[in-house]
Structure 1
Amino acid sequence: MDMKNNPRFMLAVLFLSLFLKAHICHGADTISANQSLSGDQTIVSAGGIFEMGFHKPGNSSNYYICMWYKNIPVRTLVWVANREEPVSDRFSSELRISDGNLVLLNESKTPIWSTNVSSTTSSSVEAVLGDDGNLVLKDIGSNSPRTVWQSFDHPAHTWLPGSKIGYNNITKKNQRLISWKNNDDPAPGLFSLELEISTSSYIILWNRSQKYWSSGPWNEDTKIFDWVPEMNLNYIYDFEFVANENESYFKYSVKNNSPTSRFVMDVSGQIKQQNWMPANGWNLFWSQPRQQCEVYAFCGPYGTCNQKSLPFCNCLTGFEKESQNDWDLGDFSGGCKRKTKLQCGNNVSSVDHKGDKDKFLQMPGMSLPKQSVTVGSAAECESTCLNNCSCTAYALDNNDCLIWIGGFLDLKLSDDQSTGKTLYVRLAASELPSPKKNNGIVIGVVVGGAAGLAVLLGLIVFLILRQRKKALGPGKIVEGSLMAFDYRYLQNATKNFSERLGGGGFGSVFKGTLPDSTVIAVKQLESVSQGEKQFRTEVSTIGTIQHVNLVRLRGFCSEGTKRLLVYDYMSNGSLDSHIFRDKTSNILDWKSRYQIALGTARGLFYLHEKCRDCIIHCDIKPENILLDAEFCPKVADFGLAKLVGRDFSRVLTTMRGTRGYLAPEWISGVAITAKADVYSYGMMLFEFVSGRRNSEQSEDGKVTFFPGWAANIIIEGGDVLSLLDPSLERNADVQELTKVCRIACWCVQEDETRRPSMAQVVQILEGVMDVNLPPVPRALQVFVDNQENVIFYTDSSSTKSSQTRSNTSTASSQAKSTTSSVNSTS
């Protein structure tokens, strides 16, 4: 039979060719010269880590050639090829090899993006997607294939492990990260991260020109940038900074069995370091600048940024949003526009048709915008601005008059209201009430008061009823990724608060699940006395605090008397379940305990010294140290002292198990400082070592107090390994164990001025500083009997053996011969 003339055979060949054309690239990691990518076709890296194809981000109607993580359920883009040239029909567009380049052709078969390099012949070039997220264009025509182009040299907004961000001294090109325009548009936005050669620092720029953040120079000794202490994560990352005659760059790598990691130049103008945790989604380790309002011109022209409010951005009185749609997408760069034109621009007299001149809105406590012009004296400042039609605002700075010509940027509320300046913003007369009309306004208000009140009450009732009828939803997304949740929504998410994870004096914590399968922890707060506005202000402040060793706050609920906080769920629970003989949990080895102690110290150091205002936790204990999927420690419940308010001390002292961590100053009633947290941390360190509670009662009724025993052995130079949790079978680094015990003894000194700061603790644990032999903490008195059973009592005990007094005296005399400095050597 002549197969060529067989209709069935020809039909089969036709279908087979169409099938191969549609699927030739699906699943492979390579685009060869005779292949193309179109429609729903994708390529996948050999190990199944990354995938690339056409994708439509967010609610956009456009398609882009994108790269994303293959196995992460939330599609997360790491690279976009045609950021500025989208296509509308992915089936009519194709990505192919053409003339030695990788080229994207749109619906009209017009090239809109290309790798734009020269090669030998088209048939000798192929594009390969690697498991590191690098798309490499290779010339395989010679005996030794060479790379002619790679996506790592052309990053978008994401910085992946192994890639470089730096400056090429030969080509004079700066590899930089550039933010998206908004959450739906990957076009280059206003914010970029790049290397500043003159200072060997990484900087963030607004509009590629205005610098507003710097990492500080690279420190070869500590292997971090000076102004980014959060980089102290050597148990997760390896960092490398290279500077030679050819190039200068920085790159990082993730150690084995660590989570998927990425740095993102976000649309918020912040550089964010995130890790993927299967149980919690993308976990934000840290971001810089730390405060949203530190981002230059974040709220655009005539927009004002207030770090203490949600949302952060608002328009000035007399102004409205330039584009509501852009603001909804997280792009505030368009700022605000005037509701009413200035009269000065319409006629020479600067007087409107009612005879009123332009007026000035007084805004006290402001950080003044840049780009001002100094003119005249303070006495003539207002008239000088009023007579200049281009003048939009003025301010008095000592005896100088500052004016702003045209629109102004970066207007924000000062962090310190007492040092802020008063800015006078020019408005049309109709936007501000005239003093001459005040009497008429008062009369009108009085006359219409009764009727207006009735209408208002009716409206309130109507809105309440209407709100109750609304379909149940999660709530409102607010600035800084915080969400204001509805109470009934959280009721459903937690199955009516049925699965309790734990609790204390602040309230109980319940496990919940969001519709997208994200697991959360919901804390029902008790004893919260302040009003809703103050509560929201405090929550917004806490929500901006981000660090790898602090639990991330996702959102909150504030409805009537109901106050709830929503956190990331920590799959490995709290520290106490791992060190206090919980048979369902794995016993932590010494290396893990040391890293948890270090991470906890870093979190407290951040709260004490790196936040705008010092935050004292006031309740450090193993129950408040949570562990994520990688056993990275997260300090939880920070900031709750501010939320609970005046009743906090009563709540704290009645919490079960907390008294063992209270510093002596709590009992004496003096003002509490950050050193109260240091004391609690020291008491917790003893439990890291022993694997049991500091105070335990034996079967014969005797109370053992481990810190006293530990202090005695440390000071007398005894067997340090005898202090170790028996389950570790003396398997620990003796130097590290000694260091931890010495730190603990210093931290629990009765005199808070002798306790180290958390910054010093971090430096000691990191090996930057040494720690001297500590004096005996006065409250720890030791008893040792003939069988070497150790019984410990406080000073209030009425029975003390002569042997104990001898031991204590010896230890005290040794302590007096040592220095009281905790930071003796560096």
Structure 2
Amino acid sequence: MACFLNCVRFDVTKTITDKPTSKEGSVAVSSVTCYSWDDVEALTSNFSRLIGSGGYSSIYMARLSSSAKAAIKVHVSSHRLYKIFRLELDILLRLQHPNIVKLLGYFDDSEENGALLLEYLPQGNLQENLHSNSKQVLPWRNRVAIAFQLVQAIEHIHEKCIPQIVHGDIKSSNVLLDKNFNSKLCDFGSAKVGFSSMVQPSAISPRSRHVTMVGSPGYTDPHYLRTGVASKKMDMYGFGVVVLELISGKEAVSAGNGEMLVHVAAPLMHEILDSSIDIAEDSVRGFSDPRMLRDSIDIDEVKTMLGVAALCISSPPSLRPSASQVTETLIQKIPSLSFLGSGKRV
């Protein structure tokens, strides 16, 4: 893990995308189309096929042509939730990265209603692929590639965007997979924008002690829960939990007993961080997903991934690596990443 001590610097680049100037009809803005509500109804065949839902939105299948599919994320109608929609729209208009879900268009009535037209990812999300009862098991090298692509997306929003962005809700269900099982980060409704490293919690009104917290159970940085201070390090914590999911095949929070994966992994994480002795192969295999073929797992690669996870969920947050440092480590220490150009699942 010594390679984390040498910070890898990247040039900061800026992508400028004009904000929408019209809300009527279908107006193309920097290759992103502004749709009318009639367009949204037509694209979804009057919302005939629901393919996903969350606390603030519903996602429907859309057809751009006889063969081209997309997904439309329709936000619940309210003034408060409109702000979440507007935040996500403004962020996605700025972002262009192969491992971040692509915005194709949107509907915005400037009051309470909004919808995002997004690229359709046919393999669903990572959580489904890891934890469903399907007989198909995600192979090791695809898991490594997904982690690598995810941290590249995080690196982009943390270090290569102006203003910089903290996602705020890194978790396996926010990682979508295309037909070749390449990963794409989605759902920027909890994001924090426009700071160098940290965002202090908003001042609390004397009349209310309520503070809106972001994140999901099992993935949320304990330091953030204690302090309300959002930072890039909270994204790295969530990334560390996703890496533990990829290695173990276990859920971030067990559906059976509610136990958190970080607690299950804690003894092994302490052993990795506290010991200069190489971790025993039996310990590594004991934590790894038993559904993966024994011969398909590279023990050294698993050890590298475990070391990354241990550092990403460590406390205090200042000990955690940056996304660029994790990217550099994975490039240096995991040879199987060389298959990424093949676009295949084995």
So what's the TM-score if we normalise by structure 2?
0.76
Q: In the TM superposition, what are the counterparts of 1:250-399 in structure 2 within 5 Å?
A: 290-292=14-16, 307=17, 309-310=19-20
Q: Is the 8 A contact 1:521 1:569 kept in 2?
A: yes
Closer, same or farther in 2 for the Cα pair 1:545/1:660, shift >3 Å? same
Q: Is the 8 A contact 2:32 2:105 kept in 1?
A: yes
What CA deviation, in whole Å up to 9, does each residue of 1:536-567 have, x standing for no partner?
A: 68734521310111110111111241111110
Aligned-partner Cα distance in 2 for 1:521–1:696 = 29
- Equivalent in the alignment of 1:504: 54
Aligned-pair RMSD on alpha carbons?
A: 3.3
Q: In the TM superposition, what are the counterparts of 1:165-180 in structure 2 within 5 Å?
A: none
What CA deviation, in whole Å up to 9, does each residue of 1:356-384 have, x standing for no partner?
A: xxxxxxxxxxxxxxxxxxxxxxxxxxxxx
- Residue 603 (str. 1) matches residue 136 (str. 2): no
Q: In the TM superposition, what are the counterparts of 1:44-63 in structure 2 within 5 Å?
A: none
Q: Is the 8 A contact 2:52 2:58 kept in 1?
A: yes
How many residues align structurally?
300
- Equivalent in the alignment of 2:212: 650
Aligned-partner Cα distance in 1 for 2:168–2:107 = 23
1:682 Cα deviation from its structure 2 partner: 0.5
1:636 Cα deviation from its structure 2 partner: 0.6
- Equivalent in the alignment of 1:570: 121
Residue type of the alignment partner of 1:741: L
Structure with more strand by fraction: 1
- Residue 612 (str. 1) matches residue 165 (str. 2): no
Closer, same or farther in 2 for the Cα pair 1:540/1:311, shift >3 Å? farther
Aligned-partner Cα distance in 2 for 1:580–1:510 = 23
- Equivalent in the alignment of 1:546: 96
Aligned-partner Cα distance in 2 for 1:590–1:623 = 19
What CA deviation, in whole Å up to 9, does each residue of 1:201-251 have, x standing for no partner?
A: xxxxxxxxxxxxxxxxxxxxxxxxx9789xxxxxxxxxxxxxxxxxxxxxx
2:240 is paired with a residue whose SS is: helix
- Equivalent in the alignment of 2:287: 723
1:709 Cα deviation from its structure 2 partner: 4.5
Q: Is the 8 A contact 2:85 2:189 kept in 1?
A: no
Closer, same or farther in 2 for the Cα pair 1:538/1:738, shift >3 Å? closer
Aligned-partner Cα distance in 2 for 1:227–1:745 = 24
Aligned-partner Cα distance in 1 for 2:255–2:116 = 36
Closer, same or farther in 2 for the Cα pair 1:650/1:623, shift >3 Å? same
Aligned-partner Cα distance in 2 for 1:755–1:615 = 18
- Equivalent in the alignment of 2:80: 529
Q: Is the 8 A contact 2:153 2:185 kept in 1?
A: yes
Structure 2 alignment gaps of length 5 or more: 1-8, 194-201, 203-209, 335-346
Closer, same or farther in 2 for the Cα pair 1:727/1:768, shift >3 Å? closer
Aligned-partner Cα distance in 2 for 1:291–1:703 = 42
Q: Is the 8 A contact 1:549 1:635 kept in 2?
A: yes
Q: Is the 8 A contact 2:219 2:252 kept in 1?
A: no
- Equivalent in the alignment of 2:140: 590
1:566 is paired with a residue whose SS is: strand
Residue type of the alignment partner of 1:663: D
1:741 Cα deviation from its structure 2 partner: 0.6
- Equivalent in the alignment of 1:556: 106
Q: In the TM superposition, what are the counterparts of 1:772-783 in structure 2 within 5 Å?
A: none
What CA deviation, in whole Å up to 9, does each residue of 1:429-475 have, x standing for no partner?
A: xxxxxxxxxxxxxxxxxxxxxxxxxxxxxxxxxxxxxx8xxxxx6x2
1:501 Cα deviation from its structure 2 partner: 2.1
1:767 is paired with a residue whose SS is: helix
Structure with more helix by fraction: 2
Residue type of the alignment partner of 2:286: S
The percent identity for this pair of structures is 27
What CA deviation, in whole Å up to 9, does each residue of 1:743-801 have, x standing for no partner?
A: 111111131111111111111111179xxxxxxxxxxxxxxxxxxxxxxxxxxxxxxxx
1:727 is paired with a residue whose SS is: coil
Closer, same or farther in 2 for the Cα pair 1:763/1:497, shift >3 Å? same
Identify which of structures 1 and 2 has the higher relative contact order when contacts are C-alpha pairs closer than 8 Å and 6+ apart.
2
Closer, same or farther in 2 for the Cα pair 1:516/1:228, shift >3 Å? farther
Residue type of the alignment partner of 2:243: L
Q: Is the 8 A contact 1:622 1:684 kept in 2?
A: yes
Aligned-partner Cα distance in 1 for 2:32–2:258 = 50
- Equivalent in the alignment of 1:742: 307
Q: Is the 8 A contact 1:581 1:692 kept in 2?
A: no
Aligned-partner Cα distance in 1 for 2:28–2:304 = 46
Residue type of the alignment partner of 1:310: P
- Equivalent in the alignment of 2:175: 625
Aligned-partner Cα distance in 2 for 1:671–1:596 = 28
Q: Is the 8 A contact 1:290 1:545 kept in 2?
A: no
Aligned-partner Cα distance in 1 for 2:328–2:223 = 26
1:502 is paired with a residue whose SS is: strand
Residue type of the alignment partner of 1:666: Y
Residue type of the alignment partner of 1:721: R
1:587 Cα deviation from its structure 2 partner: 1.4
Q: Is the 8 A contact 2:10 2:159 kept in 1?
A: no
- Equivalent in the alignment of 2:240: 682
Aligned-partner Cα distance in 2 for 1:614–1:639 = 15
- Residue 667 (str. 1) matches residue 225 (str. 2): yes
1:676 Cα deviation from its structure 2 partner: 0.7
Closer, same or farther in 2 for the Cα pair 1:694/1:530, shift >3 Å? closer
Aligned-partner Cα distance in 1 for 2:164–2:15 = 14
1:613 Cα deviation from its structure 2 partner: 1.0
- Equivalent in the alignment of 1:756: 321
What CA deviation, in whole Å up to 9, does each residue of 1:261-280 have, x standing for no partner?
A: xxxxxxxxxxxxxxxxxxxx
Residue type of the alignment partner of 1:685: V
Closer, same or farther in 2 for the Cα pair 1:538/1:652, shift >3 Å? closer
- Residue 696 (str. 1) matches residue 254 (str. 2): yes
Equivalent position to 2:265, from 707, 712, 718: 707
- Equivalent in the alignment of 1:177: none
1:494 Cα deviation from its structure 2 partner: 1.6
Aligned-partner Cα distance in 2 for 1:531–1:525 = 7
Residue type of the alignment partner of 2:129: H
Q: Is the 8 A contact 1:682 1:748 kept in 2?
A: yes
Closer, same or farther in 2 for the Cα pair 1:674/1:761, shift >3 Å? same
Closer, same or farther in 2 for the Cα pair 1:744/1:615, shift >3 Å? same
Aligned-partner Cα distance in 2 for 1:537–1:727 = 40
Q: Is the 8 A contact 2:14 2:160 kept in 1?
A: no
1:488 Cα deviation from its structure 2 partner: 2.3
Aligned-partner Cα distance in 1 for 2:15–2:249 = 38
1:308 Cα deviation from its structure 2 partner: 5.3
Closer, same or farther in 2 for the Cα pair 1:740/1:583, shift >3 Å? same
Residue type of the alignment partner of 1:291: T
Residue type of the alignment partner of 2:242: M
- Residue 581 (str. 1) matches residue 291 (str. 2): no
2:80 is paired with a residue whose SS is: coil
Structure 1 alignment gaps of length 5 or more: 1-225, 230-288, 293-306, 313-466, 468-472, 770-826
Residue type of the alignment partner of 2:323: M
1:711 Cα deviation from its structure 2 partner: 1.8
1:613 is paired with a residue whose SS is: coil
Equivalent position to 2:298, from 730, 733, 738: 733
Closer, same or farther in 2 for the Cα pair 1:556/1:228, shift >3 Å? same
Closer, same or farther in 2 for the Cα pair 1:500/1:538, shift >3 Å? closer
1:659 is paired with a residue whose SS is: coil
Aligned-partner Cα distance in 2 for 1:517–1:530 = 32
So what's the TM-score if we normalise by structure 1?
0.34
1:726 is paired with a residue whose SS is: coil
